[in-house]
Amino acid sequence: MSKNLIVYFSRSGENYVNGQVVSLEKGNTEVVAEMIHSCIESTLFQVETIHEYPQDYHQCTQEAKKELENNERPKILDYVHQFKDYDHIFLCYPNWWSTMPMAMFTFLESHQTEHKHIYPLCTHEGSRMGHSVEDIQKLCPQAIIHQPLAIRGSQVKHAKGQIEKWLKDQNFEIQI
């Protein structure tokens, strides 16, 4: 039986939602990662950086922009120690400057992704996937990249049906 891993990076606190900065108790990407987890048998893994990003939304975005411009790889707290045991990897991340947060680059470069099935899911507020799928393809050239899903952050609380449809379209059996 195939094993499913949901890898996500998410940020609570100040986020951009519907044209304004609001404080979120739980980050949008964490919400959708948990929805996937509720639909299929899987393991959840949160990518966390050693350093904390600023709580202020604008300061955080500027730090994220600097990391991207400098092609940095922020250190992360932990890795998936039995990564080889997983066949299907759901990569869930917010769109930061038209791609994934650089911590997701660190994660992918730290794991052997050859022959893994990767399912990208991006939360955003209008910029959809950006060029994140192309970046995943460059980082994981021997992985099988499946149809991505982009969900507006402001719509995550109502995205369960959309996620279920995406999973069914990818031939996953939904748990009840």
Report the candidate in 147, 37, 28, 166 with the shortest Cα–Cα distance to residue 93. 28
Question: pTM of this prediction?
Answer: 0.96
Write out the two tokens for 44: 């959840």
Provide CATH code, domain 4-169. Answer: 3.40.50.360
Domain boundaries, the chain: 4-169
Q: Residue 162, Cα to own-chain centre: how many angstroms?
A: 16
Structural contact between residues 9 and 45, judged by C-beta atoms closer than 8 angstroms: no
Q: What is the DSSP string of 54-106?
A: PSSHHHHHHHHHHHHHTT----BS---TTGGG-SEEEEEEE-BTTB--HHHHH
pLDDT of residue 2: 78
Amino acid at position 149, single letter: L
pLDDT of residue 1: 65
pLDDT of residue 175: 86
Q: To the nearest 10°, report the CA torsion of 52, 57, 59, 65.
A: 90
Structural contact between residues 57 and 153, judged by C-beta atoms closer than 8 angstroms: no
For the chain, 176 residues long, give each residue's pLDDT as a single digit of tens: 679 999 999 999 999 998 999 999 999 999 999 999 999 999 999 999 999 999 999 999 999 999 999 999 999 999 999 999 999 999 999 999 999 999 999 999 999 999 999 999 999 998 999 999 999 999 999 999 999 999 999 999 999 999 999 999 999 999 86
